[in-house]
Structure 1
Amino acid sequence: MHYVSLPDSTTRPLPFYLAMEEWLARNHTDDLFFMWQVAPTVICGRNQIVDLEVNLDYCRQNNIRVCRRKSGGGCVFADGNNIMFSYITSSANVTSTFSAYTSMVAGMLRDLGLPASATSRNDVLIGEHKVSGNAFYHLPDCGRCIVHGTMLFDTDMTHMSRAITPSRAKLESKGVKSVASRITTIKANSDITLAEFKSFTRKSLCGEKTLELTQCDVTRIEKMAEEISSDEWIYRKTSRATLCRTTRIDGAGEFTAHIDLAGSEIRSIDLSGDFFMLTDLDSGLLDRLKGVRYSREAILSALEHTDVHDVISGVNNDRFVNLII
């Protein structure tokens, strides 16, 4: 695996690094890894509703930027004492790629002498506390997977707990009372410095292999970042709906389905939440239900040749229909 380095040490806005992941995935075929840090930022998952997940007033008052990524999952907070990891690889199996990555990170932490483990969903733990949350998405047109996540080194817990507002159902499902009560940091468990930790991580995962980007590469990446920097992308609203269904599915996440009906037929479905997508949600699933009668039998029939589990991690066809009916 090659470590990707930029031509300078400038700290860039978070959308740049998300665009950098995709640019690398589309323009290189090797396994790649890089680390990055940003000014205080909340990063929402692709399908989340920003107004429900983020304390926007607090973020404005404390100069905390809000962004949205292309991967699913929940909100995370990043600042200069938090390290972001990005991993790009070629794979047709998103689930196994994700599992391999979190196991690799947990193994690296164990090499530091920390009691780290990877969970079945998206976290890396030290003991029983979360130190790294991760998300992924697949680019089927080029056969590449992107896995990215946080590594909490010495993050501002006050900003984190006040900027992100998870639902009570999510916290109760994890048996905790607040965001801060379920996390830990590298600094709380080790005397290693931030610079030493970054150096150790790079050598542990990549050895001496390096891919150096040029200024021309940076310019192309900056152009790609414009789309995910826009307010339209970050604060996009759900469509007007006739019905709204909200539930939490163990092992999959929180779901809110906004269902727009024309008479007894489905006009559109908008699905929001912190779940993980394995492919495009609209073309892979939701668009197939347009014009279908709004009944359990009709929806199951329309999905006869569709395996929802291949679109949304942890959700089969019956669970999906129970969500929207």
Structure 2
Amino acid sequence: MMLYLDMSDERARFKDPVVPEALAEYLQKAPRYKDQELLYFYHPEVPTVIVGHYQDVYHEVNFPYLNENGIKLVRRNSGGGAVFIDPGDLTYVYIDTAKKVKTPKFSHYISPILKALASLGIPAKETGRNDLTVNGKKFSGMSFSQIEDRVLYGGTLMFDVNLEMANHALTPSKSKLADKGVRSVKSRVTNLREYIKQSNFSIDDLRDLILSYVQKENENFNVSRLSETEWQQIHELGQQKFATKKWIYGSNLTNYYVDSYYHGIGSIGIAFNTTDGRLSDVKISGDLMVISQETVDQLQNELDGCKVNQDDIELILEKYNLDGSIKPGTARQLAEKIVTEVQNK
């Protein structure tokens, strides 16, 4: 059974940018919704940058620009890359039940979205690892997270987002942009508004159109709303976890940082210090999608104390498989970059 949680009358709650992140975790854990397939949409009420669970904010975000323009910063539970959202964005979230997922099944959940867009004459496609594009330009990126046996698939639909703000707010690695053959965030993204012929077609119309296709694919489709008690619990979770500086910024400031982008895989970054010729305070980051925190912690712990020696670092990296990323070629390249970064500092 598909349960649609109607948020259309709750827009005021989303003026607090941590509410969407707390809402997602609450619904993944709430006993009331166990074993139910959930869907909801929401509109961001303020310009916000959302970084992925494993990303290093200091290498993804233009802090002076955020401060000057009142753009909020939050971190989500799910992996993937940083995104800029504002009231011109429509965010969609599916929550379902599944055993340990190694490869997210994005195609299943975006099917009604692509059908809805096709009905508007928009030739949207699923491309890369988790993107939706039209004419080669991205308008949506999906993220994934799993808490026990509850999986979350979420994404942003750029309907009429301020692309100028998005371009200045985000600072993705140059290697990632180079891989995609573009020079800036702005040059590789687009708004759906540009492809819709009806001038009076609104973001709410898009939501309702997608819902009509969801209903076609789900015979048992019910609508519900969250209670005031539930919203209070969501607010408390937001303040206790997602609004804290430790959650948003992390607690590990480092002197060195290297990263690489691997086509079809994503970005892997390693921040670190050095002490007496050895790595210290190692922190793995990147737009990693399916990976356990335990694996990340194990790799970080093993790199801590390793000699700043390419062969030694490479051997440790090869032992791990972060989101399918740390393969021999990847390990060799990262190890070389780490040593070069220290030598050139």
Paired with 2:215 and 2:72, the residues of 1 have a C-alpha distance of: 31
Task: Tell me, yes or no, if the aligned pair for 1:252 and 1:315 is still in contact at 8 Å.
Answer: yes
> 1:188: how far off?
0.6
What SS is found at the alignment partner of 2:323?
coil
Indicate the residue corresponding to 1:86 in structure 2.
Answer: 93
> 1:283: how far off?
4.3
Could you tell me which amino acid in structure 1 is paired with residue 113 of structure 2? V
- TM-score, normalised by the number of residues in structure 2: 0.81
- Give the paired residue count: 318
Which of 247, 263, 285 is the matching residue for 1:233?
Answer: 247
Which of 261, 264, 288 is the matching residue for 1:251?
Answer: 264
Indicate the residue corresponding to 1:17 in structure 2.
Answer: 20
Paired with 1:188 and 1:15, the residues of 2 have a C-alpha distance of: 30
2:98 corresponds to 1:97 = no
Structure 1 217/174 Cα, relative in aligned 2: closer, same or farther at 3 Å?
A: same
Indicate the residue corresponding to 1:30 in structure 2.
Answer: 36
Cα RMSD (Å) of the superposition? Answer: 2.8
- Percent identity reads 27
Please show how residues 207-226 of structure 1 align to structure 2 within 5 Å.
208-226=221-239
Indicate the residue corresponding to 2:341 in structure 1.
Answer: none
What SS is found at the alignment partner of 2:324?
coil
Please show how residues 1-325 of structure 1 align to structure 2 within 5 Å.
1-6=2-7, 8-11=9-12, 12=14, 13-27=16-30, 28=33, 29-38=35-44, 39-91=46-98, 92-139=100-147, 142-190=148-196, 191=198, 192-206=201-215, 208-226=221-239, 227-240=241-254, 244-259=257-272, 269-280=282-293, 281-283=295-297, 285-287=299-301, 308=321, 312-319=322-329, 321-322=331-332, 323-324=334-335
Unaligned runs of 5+ in 2: 337-345
Higher fraction of helix: 2
> 1:211: how far off?
3.1
Structure 1 316/14 Cα, relative in aligned 2: closer, same or farther at 3 Å?
A: same
Paired with 2:260 and 2:154, the residues of 1 have a C-alpha distance of: 26
Q: 1:69-106 CA distances to partner (integer Å, 9 max, x unpaired)? A: 12222221111111111111122225242343344533
- TM-score, normalised by the number of residues in structure 1: 0.85
Could you tell me which amino acid in structure 2 is paired with residue 278 of structure 1? I
> 1:220: how far off?
0.9
> 1:255: how far off?
2.2
Structure 1 212/230 Cα, relative in aligned 2: closer, same or farther at 3 Å?
A: same
Structure 1 107/284 Cα, relative in aligned 2: closer, same or farther at 3 Å?
A: farther
> 1:164: how far off?
1.6
Task: Tell me, yes or no, if the aligned pair for 2:84 and 2:170 is still in contact at 8 Å.
Answer: yes
Structure 1 14/97 Cα, relative in aligned 2: closer, same or farther at 3 Å?
A: farther
Structure 1 195/302 Cα, relative in aligned 2: closer, same or farther at 3 Å?
A: closer
Could you tell me which amino acid in structure 1 is paired with residue 56 of structure 2? I
Unaligned runs of 5+ in 1: none
Task: Tell me, yes or no, if the aligned pair for 1:3 and 1:206 is still in contact at 8 Å.
Answer: no
Paired with 2:324 and 2:115, the residues of 1 have a C-alpha distance of: 25
Could you tell me which amino acid in structure 2 is paired with residue 42 of structure 1? V
